[in-house]
Amino acid sequence: MHEWFVINWPFIEWLPPSLVLILGGLLVSFLRGVVQKLMLLAAPTLALVAVLGSAPGAYASFEFLNMQMTLGRVDPLSLVFAHVFAIMALVGAIYALHVRDTIQHVAALIYAGSAMGVVFAGDLVTLYVFWELMMLSSVWLIWRNRRAASLAAGFRYLLVHAVSGVLLLAGIVIYYTQTGSLSFDAIETGSPAFWLILLGFMINAAVPPLHAWLTDAYPEATVTGAVFLCAFTTKTAVYTLIRGFPEAEVLVWLGTLMTLWGVTYAVLANNIRRLLAYHIVSQVGFMVAGIGLGTAMALNGSAAHAFTHILYKALLFMSAGAIIQMTGRAKLTELGGLYRHMPLTFVFYMIAAFSISALPLTSGFVSKTMILEAYADHQAAFVWLVLSLASAGTFLSVGLKLPWFVFMGRDSGLRPREAPANMLVAMGIVAFFCIFIGVYPQWLYQMLPHQPVGYNAYTLAHVFWDLQLLSFVGLVFFVLLKFMAPKDKITLDTDWFYRVAAPHAVGLIHRHGTSAWRNLLAAMRWPLGRIFAQALRYHGPKGILARTSPTGSMVLWVAVLLTATLLLYYI
Amino acid sequence: MLVKLLDLLVRHARWLKRVVLAAMAGLVIADLLSPAGYDRFVWESWGGGGALFGVLACLSLIGLAKALGLGLVYRREAYYDDELAPYRALEDAAEERSRSDLS
């Protein structure tokens, strides 16, 4: 692990970047105008300096309710994620600088800070607290889009993540009672705690069939909020999976399914941010599959791919956001021919698109091939083939279909201006990293958790295979162009079960339950009436037993009873 | 400047196409001639394996997606609109607030 410099902060041992971002976010809420913008940049800058100046070790440990909490477990794995999170928080702040919405700024900084908190958390309780804070802050980035669809999607997002939080908490409680420890390391296979915590993490990592919250909510977020969203939630989950569940075999198959699920749905998508959101599912699938394999190269590959993915995916969402902001449209069917009006956005988009497609000399190539190489070393042909298929699909949708129907293709008649300068600067910074990492992968490799890395992406065979794969996918795309035209439709995904099926089931039970209860009561009326009538006959106010008997008959009956007793006595 | 460059490329799309196709052919030939780099899977030793895989992968993916879309998951745009009814009032309130923020 390289250390550029280690800072000795006055009075404190270590400056927690998570708290810097969260306190910065709170401070932003009190400021306005230029001072607010300066604070918006200062907090992530200080967080980045704090991350760069962190030396490995355990910091900020304290006891709370007899539990040992650690805010700062700094090691190579947490630092890889912390570096990219800090870069992303700063770039995201630059991208959002023109926005006049304090709530969004506050939410974005607290969200980035909580993600950083998860990455540095040394114990499960600290992790849980930041995990929940991440959910509570990020939902505002969806709600602040202020459309009915965004409000609804935000509530669904909140509910799904609440389930993730509850599963995680239940798992942590069981883990604590079983082991008596709260430290967050690899979790022992097979126990109920293992499955509950794994499920909690898997929901945030958007593993099918628990992934639909992502493709439902991200396209409805604000333009700048989506950039933060696409960077943090899924990647903190990838970090926690690497830390807690390396070599969990179930992740091999779920990761493989993710890659295929994402690219297949992306082919059908019409909303540009939904298309990109499906590719988050697909790309995180590569990381999850790498974690499942669990070899040093696979885990390095997953961490490296998370690093590069955060950057190129953010750039894709930034470009898509710029298009939506400048044209007011988000559907492929409504866009087209924009390259003349937004040329810089187009170029930045293409850099990100080539990166996600793993074109040589871009960042995706040096990280994705690492995971594929780990599977090749393992001779796992099926998984390797599916992951390669997903690579082809990624280029098909993100590298060809989206840019063709947005920037090229037919002229939609839209004449937008280029995106604002701050957005372009943010896109430029990320585009630089996409190419820099592709050209100089050692910069990334030296940060990875398992050293020495000893992997070279740029072998002739890799480059040949990749260039052929991508160029021939391009050939098929242009040959079949008329079949590739987007349709003005939406696609059902697993969210259908809780958006349509579950409410219908509840409605059905309610309606049928009510009528069944009424029928039961109607059927009971006759026997109940009979019982009631009989009771009245004997016990009612005019019933036989309620009559007052005359004294004469009482004497007669007593005489009869006495006679009977006398007779019985003698017999 | 950038627009002019992009326009130039678009104007000469036919040439561009020929150059790219020639480069692709050159790539496959070079792969056929060069010795195989890896032999972990059988297709890694085939010259032009990447090209073949690219075509097959792309075709099968489009087929899979279209079958899934047309057969099962495509719905009209307004399919989920009913669920938005309770949120319309909130949307209107938010719009009004943002208007008053700007004024």
Q: What percent of chain A has pLDDT over 70?
A: 99
**Section A509-532 average pLDDT:** 92
Tell me which residue has tokens 């969200």: A111
B-chain residues within 8 Å CB-CB of A297? none
pLDDT at A456 over 50: yes
Give the lowest-confidence range in A27-36, A81-90, A479-488, A534-543: A534-543
Give me the residues of B, 16-45, that contact A with CB < 8 A: 20-21, 23-24, 27-28, 30-31, 34, 36-38, 40-41, 44
With a cut of 70, which residues of chain B have pLDDT below it? 100-103
Buried/exposed code over B15-39 (b: 16+ C-beta within 10 A; e: otherwise): eeeeeeeeebeebbeebeeeeeeee
Per-residue pLDDT at A278: 97
Mean pLDDT across A527-538: 90
Residue A381 with chain B: CB contacts under 8 Å: 41
For residue range A352-386, what is the model confidence (pLDDT) as tens digits?
A: 999 999 999 999 999 999 999 999 999 999 999 99
- Which of B10, B38, B88 minimises the CB distance to A461? B38
State in Å, rounded, how far the first CA of chain B is from the last one. 39
Inter-chain contact B48–A468, Cβ cutoff 8 Å?
Answer: yes
User: Which tens digit of pLDDT belongs to each residue from A314-358?
Assistant: 999 999 999 999 999 999 999 999 999 999 999 999 999 999 999
> How far off is chain B from A171, nearest CA to CA, in Å?
33
- Assess whether pLDDT exceeds 60 at residue A48: yes
| Contact: B40, A377; criterion CB under 8 Å | yes
> Using CA atoms, how far apart are residues B71 and A473, in angstroms rounded to an integer?
24
Chain pair A-B, CB pairs under 8 angstroms:
167
Q: Do A464 and B31 touch (CB under 8 A)?
A: yes
- A162-198 tens-digit pLDDT: 999 999 999 999 999 999 999 999 998 889 999 999 9
Q: Residues A110-137: pLDDT tens digits?
A: 999 999 999 999 999 999 999 999 999 9
Q: Domain locations in chain B?
A: 1-35
DSSP letters spanning A106-134 = HHHHHHHHHHHHHHH--BHHHHHHHHHHH
Predicted confidence (pLDDT) per residue in A469-516, tens digit: 999 999 999 999 999 999 999 999 999 999 999 999 999 999 999 999
CA distances from A336 to A202, A324, A426, B35 (A): 37, 13, 24, 44
Nearest Cα residue in chain A from B72:
A492
The pair of three-digit structure tokens given for residue B70, joined into one six-digit string:
């047309």
DSSP per residue, A481-531: HHHH---SEEE--THHIIIIIHHHHHHHHHHHHHHHHHHHHHHHHHHHHHH
CA distance A273 to A318: 10
> Cβ separation of A471 and B73 shorter than 8 Å?
no
The shortest CB-CB distance from A267 to any of B44, B61, B95 is to B61
pLDDT at A1: 46
* Residue A363 amino acid letter: S
Q: Which residues pair with A489 in a beta bridge?
A: B76
The confidence score (pLDDT) of residue B101 equals: 60
Number of Cβ within 10 Å of residue A98's Cβ equals: 14
**Residues A128, A169: contact at Cβ < 8 Å?**
yes
| DSSP β-bridge partners for residue A271 | A331
Averaged pLDDT score across all residues of chain A: 94
Place of tokens 């593993």: A207
Question: Of chain A residues 330-389, which have a CB less than 8 A from chain B?
Answer: 339-340, 343-344, 346-347, 376-377, 379, 381, 384, 388-389
pLDDT per residue over A69-90, tens digit each? 999 999 999 999 999 999 999 9
Residues 6+ apart with CB under 8 A from A556: none
Tell me, yes or no, if A81 comes closer than 8 A to chain B by beta carbon.
Answer: no
**Over the stretch A213-235, which tens digit does the pLDDT of each residue have?**
999 999 999 999 999 999 999 99
Distance (Å) from the C-alpha of residue B94 to the closest C-alpha of chain A?
A: 6
**pTM of the prediction?**
0.91
* Partners of residue A15 on adjacent β-strands: none
The residue written with tokens 């008997």 in the block is A549
Q: Distance (Å, rounded) from C-alpha A259 to C-alpha A514?
A: 45
**SS3 assignment, position A98:** coil
- Top pLDDT among A190 and A59 is at A59
Which residues in chain B have Cβ-Cβ distances shorter than 8 Å to A472? 24, 50-52, 54-55, 58
Q: How far apart are CA A298 and CA A453, in angstroms?
A: 11
Q: What are phi and psi for residue A217, nearest 5 degrees?
A: -90, -40
**Per-residue pLDDT reduced to its tens digit, A394-447:** 999 999 999 999 999 889 999 999 999 999 999 999 999 999 999 999 999 999
Q: Residue A6 has what pLDDT? A: 74
